[in-house]
């Protein structure tokens, strides 16, 4: 009987950790939305003897590739935000891995896992 009680306690802790990870993942995803997605692209324009550099933020929206011009003065800020976004992505990745691991341990059916994924 004691063994079963201990198992339940451990299972409860794992469930708690699973819930905690999912909450954090959602909060991190929400926060990441504040930063621009995509990558910076530079286009060179030649005019007379001069070369002009124009920066674009390239991202995918739906099926289309969208180029958004980034003014020179906003470039440092955009670069900083992109770095931030990368940090969040890295953190999100580690939580996704942990959630997957916990779901295997907790034997959560795949159907429920994908349903949860879509709802978050």
Partner 1 sequence: MTNILRNNLFPKEIHTLLRTLSNVGFFDRSTLIGSWVMPIFQEIYHATYVLKTLDVDFAVHVAHSNSCLRADLEQIITSLGFVDYVSAGGVQKFSSGGYEVEFIAHRKGSRNDDAMQVREWNIVAQPLPLISLLLDFSEEALLDDFIIRYPVPEAFFIHKLIVAQKRRSPAKQSKDLEQCAVLMNILRDDPLLHIMESVRLGRGTKGHLRTSCTALNFPLHRLGL
Residues in contact with partner 1 by CB under 8 A are 9, 12-13, 15-16, 20, 23-24, 26-28, 30-31, 84, 87-88, 91, 94-95, 98
Q: Please report how the helices 2-32 and 75-105 are oriented relative to each other, as an axis angle in degrees rounded to 10.
A: 160
For partner 1, the closer of residues 20 and 117 by Cβ is 20
For partner 1, the closer of residues 12 and 74 by Cβ is 12
52: left (phi over 0), alpha (psi -120 to 50) or beta: beta
For partner 1, the closer of residues 27 and 67 by Cβ is 27
What does the alpha-carbon distance between residue 82 and residue 35 come to, in Å, rounded to a whole number? 7
Q: How far is the CB of 28 from partner 1 (least distance, A)?
A: 5
Q: How far is the CB of 2 from partner 1 (least distance, A)?
A: 13
Alpha helices by DSSP H, the chain:
2-32, 75-105, 110-119
């Amino acid at each position: 009987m004691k063994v079963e009680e201990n198992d339940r306690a451990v299972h409860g802790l794992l469930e708690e950790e699973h819930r905690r990870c999912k909450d954090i993942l959602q909060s991190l995803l929400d926060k990441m939305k504040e930063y621009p997605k995509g990558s910076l692209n530079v286009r060179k324009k030649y005019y007379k003897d001069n070369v002009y550099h124009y920066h674009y933020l390239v991202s995918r929206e739906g099926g289309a590739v969208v180029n958004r011009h980034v003014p020179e003065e906003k470039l440092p800020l955009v670069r900083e935000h992109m770095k931030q976004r990368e940090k969040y992505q890295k953190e999100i990745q580690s939580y996704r891995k942990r959630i997957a691991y916990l779901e295997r341990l907790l034997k959560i059916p795949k159907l429920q896992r994908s349903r949860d994924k879509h709802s978050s």
